[in-house]
Structure 1
Amino acid sequence: MCETDHLDSSGYSRRDLLGLLGMAGAGLAVAPVLTSDPALAAASDLALDPKTMPSDLVNYEAPTNLAVDSQAKDAAVSWIDRQADRIAGLNDRIWEYAEPSLAEWNSSWAEAQFLAANGFTIEWGAGGMPTAFVATFSHGTGKPVIGFSGEYDALPGLSQEKGNPKHNPLVYHHDPYAPTYGFGHGCGHCALGAAAAGAAAATAAAMKARDLDGTIKFFGSTAEEQLVGKSVAVKAGVYRGLDAFVDWHPASGNSTSWSSGNAMYSVAFHFLGTDGHGGSPLETRSTQDAVTAMAMLTEFLRESDLAHTARMHHAIRQAGQAPNVFPTLSSIWYYAREGSPARSKILMDKIIRCAEAAALATGTRMEHRIMGGVWNKLGNKRGAELMYANMTQIGAPTFSEADQRFGKALQRSNGSAETGFSSTISELRPPAPVFMGGGSTDVADISWQVPTISMGTAHQPGGTKNHSWHHTATAAANSGHVAMMAAAKYLAATTVDLLTQPTILAEMKEEFDRRTSKIKWKSMLPDDYQLPLYEPPKWFLERTGQSWPPRGVKWPPRRIVSTETAPDLGPDLPPSNLPPLE
């Protein structure tokens, strides 16, 4: 569980760092930290060639001549304009399906069908996951090979009526004791997948029209919200053979970067005890108490055991359903995020010790299972510069007055400044010299296999949160369509440059090789990792030509059942000889 041998023993030497920095003072300050954590070092600008490393973080100016006008690029962008209704329609269908991670039956099928209709061949079950697929289009020599990322999973509790700036869940489950909301695309993956599919199809159309050599591979990825899909597929070798990878994510601004993110472990904890009655709680091993105790203990870690880069959070997935029934099984799920795999493991080890202490204190039995593990992201400066050049060449999304009124109304409902949707391209800046932590993504594991470019567009107004009903409201509204189409154009234009400018692609690869020369990637998932799968409906297996269970998957999975006995309270007390109270 939570292996430690995912890092190569070799690291950056003090001489390496001094040479990269070009100044001894700075090298002395950072060398002890970075030599002990090669994953952090590789993701920092210290790993760049001194000739290309920004010498001035404040006055850095991004190159403006990387994006080349070409007939192929015009063909791709104009294809997106002509097919805008189909791309938006794909987005809206996936938004309406709002399917959870690992069960995106309709959403993955819709995305694959869109690509198949545009000349791609489809292979289902990538990495042993039923809703993951690889779509391929090849022309001419088939080289270079560029990868696209598609996602389509929704989030629990974020259902919301589209285009409504006031909270109004589209799906509301009535329960007088505990009402809940349905799933919703509060992270915009409906747009992420649709824009990427549109860009991939547009690039394929341009390759045919202008006779460009190359291969486009589109990776339909399941369960990004649970940080499962891509890390599993990378471990299985699904992403091998790529020359570059382009990616985007809905955001509150229009920008690109070569910055990093946090590595993360995801672990589910199950406590098993005995049942009991709320009116007679003696001789009960309370699993609900165990979950509560664990949550309390991990909160104590925040005061003195979490670095500024760390993030730790949990969700109680199963506990008591009625005050007078003690559950025999309760579950709590944790994420531990840190700046590198090694640091993430240290944090998760502390969380596991809290779980062990909670089980000991409550007399329950604890099991834990790794659900996911992803690396910190490896940026690519040259790739970000190419993306930025194309973003500025194409221009920022153009939102209508009605779009901006909607955005400001969303911000008002959130208590944020009413600035509307961003209509500018944020200036490309080098990453902060001191990493401060942040989010995690399973795209990170891909970034250690192939040079990866990422960007975002203003899919939600500034000040509103990702993973919120505010984002669900924009994802199928006109403003969401505008941001999504801009993203599709940025992706397609950048990919055409990768196909037609071998020098830039070679520079990206050279940077990637330099960053990874002192470290060997190894999956954070253990060798005995079990996929957290759901059984697909029969119609999905028939349509996609898959059988169940996938090879290597045991089905049905092992049941987690309590076999605990009541605790010993000691010998019975002798009867009292005291006179009764008057």
Structure 2
Amino acid sequence: MLSPAHDTAFDFVDKRHGDWSQWNAHIWALAETAWREYRSAEWYVARLRAEGFTVEAGSGGMPTAFSATWSNGKGPRIMAYAEYDAVPGNCQAALPYRAPRKGLSRFAGGHTDPHSALGMGALVGALAAKAAMETHGIEGTIRFMGEPAEKVRGSKPIHAAKGYYDGLDAIISFHPFYMLPYCNTCRWDTHCGPYYAAIYEFLCDAPETWLKHAAKGPIPAAHTSARAPGANDAVVAMYTLSKMMRDHMLPHTGTWTLNETILASGQATADNLAAQMAQIMFAARTPDRAMLDSIYAVLDRNAESAALAAHCRWRRHWVSKSRPGLANHALAEITYRNFERAGPPRFGAEAIEVAQAIQKELELEPMARPFIPEIEELISPQEAERKVRATIPSWQTHYTSDDYTDMTWHAPSVRFYVGRATLKAPQGFAYPDWVMNALGGIPATIDPTVATAARTIAGTMLDLMTDGPALARAKAEFADRLAAAGDDVKPWCDYAPPLDFPWPDYVETPRGREWWIPATAEDRALGRE
């Protein structure tokens, strides 16, 4: 049964649906990418202040982060948080066909998971809990953090190192469903693993010394002179070496990954000039830290070799060092109980019409029930754990990646997932990426996810504020797990926020606001205007 406080919170979610649906659509449409979420963070700061929170903008020295607090007297300090970073190359309109958002390149940012719904579900949940606390005189404090750059596990290691998670009694982490069996459930034992990301920078700042005796005139870079390979060649060599070495770095078990992206290249024309600077970022996800250290030892050697071959010097800049997750069964049980109270999301007739329109667009026979059934079903944390453990090695302690894990070392923490609209696929068919991106921005298909998340978060917050013994069990378990973890419990972050790199961004031009890659006739044609 719901308590009067839970009733108040759940009613808040329902009554404010029109407001938060518009808020969510706004953040989704901004689709700002890692470390450049200026307008999204500005919106959250203004909204939280309007709702009565005290807000520190730019927390941890990060312009797109924030830390907000609202208190109703003495009592537990419970935290939730927003993410709002999108992913370059996923620009999609809230339409049932492939089209970038109006006026933008299809290579612009877009919400994939979507973090827009992640942040909104948490915000609405916190506001609903606040409304119930005010109505029923429940004492306690709600902390709400703004966490940019999750796609590179950016802000949470920095917030952790700077003490923003210290002194909390519990932390609630929500994510829209993205892989089975983590749909409408909580993590149990197997939490996300550790992560490193680093930018390798190559600088060719003395090209004239490449072949001193090959110059044939007073101009160092004459067309007839030998040219230093330069920074582009160094990045190509680094990329190739690392691809080649990947198969030899770690065994093919443990679900580790190593991914790369070229952040910058060139700084030279097509003339006889050596490229002066180029940057490539490598990100690794593994079950444990020893694997990460092994990977980056190889990457360092590759960078040194590539730099020597291309007549460059090299530097490594850390983007993230993020710890693995720490489980808390007691808090997972409290959260799942509220999940049961809230019920799984329900996708009605309007959502079905959207799904069928997408299937028709892709020349599929529209299905009467187009969504996979799991998005409207609960699965217990224990059963989800059993299914995960059946697919990974017995020695593996952590699985997949997300930076909520840094929070788990500072207070009892829960990680839960809510179903999002996901289409059934005919045998042998794979939906293109734009489909999930569109479903994450169309209110009929994403609002049910936000609503369920908000109810679950609000109910969990209220239980933690009012049920002292339950919170005490979560804190006792946290203390035991922290003690068992040994010495490596402090934040790994030993670097400044990596803000001053060429992260993809929107720019203001005479044509208006656009992605740094301009829209083309091909992009405009996709819009069917």
TM bracket (short chain):
0.7 to 0.9
- 2:497 corresponds to 1:531: yes
Partner of 1:363: 311
Structure 2 vs 1, CA of residues 238 and 172 (structure 1 numbering), >3 Å: closer, same or farther? same
Return the offset for 1:362: 2.5
Distance 1:411 1:487, change over 3 A: farther
2:14 matches 1:81: yes
| Alignment match, 1:115 | 48
Tell whether the 8 Å contact from 2:221 to 2:227 is kept in structure 1 after alignment: no
1:249 paired with 2:180, answer: no
Give 2:156's match in structure 1, choosing from 206, 209, 230: 230
Which residue is equivalent to 1:455?
416
Name the residue aligned to 2:343. 395
CA-CA distance at 1:242 after TM superposition: 0.5
Kept after mapping to 1: 8 A contact 2:87/2:110: yes
* 2:130 aligned partner: 204
Which has the larger displacement, 223-232 or 318-327?
Answer: 318-327
User: Residue 441 of structure 1 is aligned with which of 402, 406, 412?
Assistant: 402
The amino acid that maps onto 2:202 is: F
**Cα 1:168–1:297 shift into 2, 3 Å:** same
Farther off after superposition, 186-195 or 204-213: 186-195
| Cα RMSD for the two superposed structures | 2.9
* Partner residue of 2:67 out of 111, 134, 138: 134
Alignment CA distance shift 1:301-1:407 (3 Å): farther
Counterpart check, 1:423 vs 2:371: no
Alignment of 1:152 with 2:84, yes or no, is yes
User: What CA deviation, in whole Å up to 9, does each residue of 1:344-403 have, x standing for no partner?
Assistant: 222222112111122222232211111111011112122222222221222111101331
How far apart in 2 are the matches of 1:344 and 1:107? 32
Q: Distance in 2 between matches of 1:501 and 1:382?
A: 12
Residues 2 and 341 in structure 2, CA contact (< 8 A), matched pair in contact too: no
Tell whether 2:241 aligns with 1:297: yes
Distance 1:289 1:415, change over 3 A: farther
- The aligned runs of 1:550-561 (5 Å cut-off) are none
Contact 1:154 1:186 in 2 (8 A): yes
The aligned amino acid for 2:298 is: K
2:228 is equivalent to residue 270 of structure 1: no
Count of residue pairs the alignment pairs up: 459
- Contact preservation (8 Å) 1:160, 1:171: no
1:399 aligned counterpart, secondary structure: coil
Aligned to 2:460: 494
What amino acid is the match of 1:99?
E
3-state SS of paired residue (1:158):
coil
The partner residue of 1:509 within 452, 466, 475 is 475
How many Å separate the matches in 2 of 1:503 and 1:416? 54
Return closer, same or farther for 1:489/1:327 CA change in 2, 3 Å cut-off.
Answer: same
Q: State yes or no: 1:475 paired with 2:406.
A: no
Per-residue CA shift, 1:200-223, capped at 9, x if unaligned? 111011011111111111111222
Q: Supply the AA of the counterpart residue of 1:458.
A: G
8 Å CA contact 1:408–1:461 kept in 2: the answer is: no
Are the structure 2 counterparts of residues 420 and 265 from structure 1 closer, same or farther at C-alpha, using a change threshold of 3 Å?
A: same
Deviation of 1:265 (Å)? 0.8
1:329 maps to a residue whose letter is M
Contact 1:159 1:171 (C-alpha < 8 Å) held by counterparts:
no
For residues 413 and 359 of structure 2, what CA distance do their matches in structure 1 show?
33
One-letter code aligned to 2:413: T
Asked if 2 retains the 8 angstrom alpha-carbon contact of 1:411 and 1:463, the reply is: no
Amino acid at match of 2:402: T
Residue identity matched to 1:257 = R
What is the CA deviation profile of residues 179-211 of structure 1, one whole-angstrom value per residue up to 9, with x for unaligned ones? Answer: x62111123111111111111111011011111
Q: 2:284 aligns with which of 326, 331, 336?
A: 336
Could you tell me how far apart the structure 1 residues matched to 2:64 and 2:293 are?
29
Aligned-pair identity in percent equals 28
Conservation of the 8 A alpha-carbon contact between 1:374 and 1:440: no
Task: Give a deviation string over 1:233-291, Cα, whole Å, max 9, x none.
Answer: 11000111100001101224322212211211110011122499898683322322221
Aligned equivalent of 2:508 = none
- Partner letter of residue 260 of structure 1? H
Q: Distance in 1 between matches of 2:168 and 2:135?
A: 23
Mapping of residues 300-315 of structure 1, within 5 Å: 300-307=244-251, 308-309=253-254, 310-315=256-261
Corresponding position of 1:570:
none
CA–CA distance in 1 between the matches of 2:365 and 2:376? 18
Q: 1:387 to 1:405 in 2, by over 3 A?
A: same
One-letter amino acid of the structure 2 residue matched with residue 522 of structure 1? K
Aligned partner (choices 74, 85, 91) of residue 24 of structure 2? 91
2:87 alignment partner, SS class: coil
C-alpha contact 2:371 2:424 (8 A) present in aligned 1: no
User: Bigger radius of gyration, 1 or 2?
Assistant: 1
| Partner Cα separation in structure 2 for residue 224 and residue 493 of structure 1 | 26
Question: 1:156·1:181 contact (CA, 8 Å) conserved in 2?
Answer: yes
Distance 1:365 1:341, change over 3 A: same
Q: CA deviation at 1:323?
A: 5.6
Question: Is the 8 Å Cα contact of residues 192 and 249 (structure 1) preserved in structure 2?
Answer: yes
Q: Any stretches of 5+ residues in structure 1 without a counterpart?
A: 1-67, 175-179, 536-582
TM-score by length of 1: 0.73
Q: How far 1:407 moved relative to its partner?
A: 3.8
Deviation at 1:410, TM superposition (A): 5.3
**Is the deviation greater in 423-432 or in 412-421?**
412-421
Deviation at 1:131, TM superposition (A): 2.1
